[in-house]
A and B are shown apart, each in its own frame.
Chain A
Amino acid sequence: MTVDLLSLILLACTAGAGSGLLSRRLAETGGFSRLERNLARATLWAGWMIAAVLLAATAALLTGLPLVRPVGAAAASIIGWLAVRIRRLGWQGRPKPVDISAPRPDRSRRRLPAAFRFLVVGPVLLLHVFLACEAMTRPPAGFDGLHFHLPLVVRWVRDGQLSMVEGVWQFSLPGNGEVWMLLIAWLGVERLIELSMLPIGGLAGLLVFGIARELSASRPAALLAAVLALAGPMTAMQCYSSYVDCFGAAFILAGVYWTIRMHRGPAGATHMTACALPAGTAVGLAIGTKPSFVLWAGLVVVAMAAALVGRARREAAGGAPAARRQMACAVLAFTLAAGACCFYWPLRAAFHTGWPLYPIQLRVAGGTLGSGLPAERIVSDLGRQGWWSVCYPWVEWKRAGHQPARGEYAADNGLGPAFAAFAVPGALYLLLRRRLLRRPGDLATDRTVLGLMGAGGVLFVEACFSYGRYAMPLWMLALAACGPMLDMLVRLRPRSTLALACPAVVLSSAMMTLAPAVDLAGRLRDGDLGRSRFYGLPPIIERLEPGAVVLNLGDSTANYPLYGQRWTNRVIETPLAAHLGLKPPLTAAQIGAHGIDYVYIRDPSGPPFADDVAWEIAWDDRQDPARPPTTRPTVVYRLLRAGPGAPAGTGGMP
């Protein structure tokens, strides 16, 4: 534990120092402002941390040894830092000062009016303070997190490898988001895992601010846009959950930021590489998060290519020497950075299955390519939404949520009133402002953002099954695009804009906090902040002998809780059980083959065993009057090891 903590600190420090060196160098060549340098540094730092773990994981994959400890990641990080350090020694002094001749955003230090600070920024700040405190009083939550993200993290901690399970798509996907959680999970404190997403949410807010500034919004308006983005239920709640969509979306947004930043820059084209390096890092991180982000990353790559070509043409027309070489350098930097942050996942898939895109199967001209799983199996629980999806979020239909009976927002659902009020008018204003007002501002930046939003809308409907969660980059970009309109409204109609923004943000915050606040009040009233009560699990799950194998035949959301607080149990999760064909009636051969010690089941209609299995009941709360009426009855069976003369079915059923 001490070694792990020290090596984690070492990893964070060397990643910080390395990304600091790189971002300083990029700022010098690219003419970056302080905001841009900090954004580059944050992106490079996250990329460095993930790349160090992936490098150690590659060594583990190739040697078969459990090398993915924080120690291995720290060692990889130190090697990278030394490489950067040595390279820096070779640079001949500082580069020449750059000539910043292109239009830059408004540099005034004007602040947001006090009324906005108190009535719009204040509620959102309070909301995040509450959500952060609430997250620390409970173990991790959220359907996907409990179903497969967190079980995967626990498997990796235990195996010392970023392992996959062939045949189970949930455990075979790329997992940069899980690697990010793994960095905190190595500390062994489960209540801190979800807080690992908080810095990512902060980065997303900063990127919304940055994009709004690139669209020539003033500082107050850009700040307002960032606050509105962080007031969105899906974004705010994902900052404190084990979902990975916010992680991927933040880095897609970073890719967009560096793409549009490329349009504006000093003459001489040296800044192209400076922008391409953080852009590549961000795109690589997003691609390695989950397959749906590959589509979003594709949009960014197309926009980046267009920006590069346009920029190189302008440079060449202006007689700048070596524009072609600079473009090649930028492409190389982008590709290498992107590859470093996601190379492991196709390598692992190819190593285990021979098909680098596993579990994705490609269909080409009626035939299938690769050994992946059929798409129907992977998206079997996703049904395409109807026509109303284009009206999102005005209908906030809630059918995408997993708990339609409960009305509250959740990490996988909801954009909220602030988005509904400003997003569409903001996009419309961006479209019209040049024509109506002949406003200055970079035409290419406006076109890139509008083009990405249009293409993102098509992706949302066609490729994301119209599920709001899969289109988070689009929602954040739309709020960033509100910046210019908010700028105009805050300048010309401050009071009436406040009258719109304040109720929208306050209502959104209240809707988000109601359900967690009621749950927290209940737990505080009962004086029980333990995980058994939170998950509605039998307390014996926390007391099983270390290494006990538990088969989950209950809900998917019990997959992670069954590991126990200290992750001492071994769990056969629901998707793995389905893959292994473990379903009632379980035979003695199946139980012996998988070494099952306990079977967890909800709403049992009878013992899930064949006649040749010896079992007893370890927990049964069906007749327990103390069981809350909202908790479904649970039974835990203990399997008796077959010995000579051991009777079958000794427990019997009452």
Chain B
Amino acid sequence: MAATRLITIRLLASGMWLLSMASLVAWFLCSQALDSFVERCMRLGSRLAGAGT
């Protein structure tokens, strides 16, 4: 009984972690906020590089 419970807890923990991971990956893939952030970082980087040269 205790072993079954332990396995259940571990399975649940793994499942919840996988679900959280999937949620985060979904956000990476779908979020427009991330796109615009990356775009802005690249623009800033090129501006700084231009100022450096």
A residues neighboring B (CB under 8 Å): 391, 393-398, 406-409, 414, 416-417, 420-425, 428-429, 432-433, 436-437, 485, 488-489, 492-493, 496-497, 500, 503-504, 507, 510-511, 514-515, 518
Contact = CB atoms under 8 A, between A and B. Distances in A.
A424 B32 contact: no
B16 A429 contact: yes
A420 B14 contact: no
Given A394-B26, A417-B24, A436-B8, A500 B33 contact: no
Nearest to B12: A436
B36 A397 contact: no
Interface in B10-37: 10, 12-14, 16-17, 19-21, 23-24, 26-28, 30-37
Nearest to A422: B20
A198 to B, nearest CB: 24
- Interface class of chain B by DSSP: helix
A436 B33 CA distance: 37
B40 A496 contact: no
B17 A493 contact: yes
Contacts of B10: 492
A396 B34 contact: yes
A485 B16 contact: yes
Contact of A489 (B16, B34, B44): B16
Interface residues of B, number: 29
A394 B21 CA distance: 13
Contacts of A496: 17
A495 to B, nearest CB: 11
Give me the 3 closest cross-chain CB pairs, A-B, nearest first. Answer: A407-B36, A420-B27, A396-B33
A489 B16 CA distance: 8
A408 B21 contact: no
Given A407-B36, A409-B33, A489 B13 contact: yes
Contacts of B5: 437
B44 A518 contact: yes
B21 to A, nearest CB: 6
A396 B39 CA distance: 16
A393 B8 contact: no
Given A394-B26, A424-B23, A436-B12, A500 B32 contact: no
Contact of A417 (B8, B16, B17, B27): B27
Contacts of B21: 421, 500
A408 B12 contact: no
Contacts of A416: 33
User: Among B5, B24, B44, which residue has the most Cβ atoms of chain A within 10 A?
Assistant: B24
Contacts of B26: 394, 420
B32 A397 contact: yes
B33 A497 contact: no
User: Among A407, A408, A409, A489, which residue has the most Cβ atoms of chain B within 10 A?
Assistant: A407
14 contacts: A398-B32, A407-B33, A421-B21, A421-B27, A422-B20, A429-B16, A493-B14, A496-B17, A500-B20, A511-B33, A511-B34, A511-B37, A514-B40, A514-B44
Contacts of A414: 33
Given A417-B24, A488-B13, A437 B19 contact: no
A395 B30 contact: yes
Contact of B24 (A432, A433, A492, A504): A504
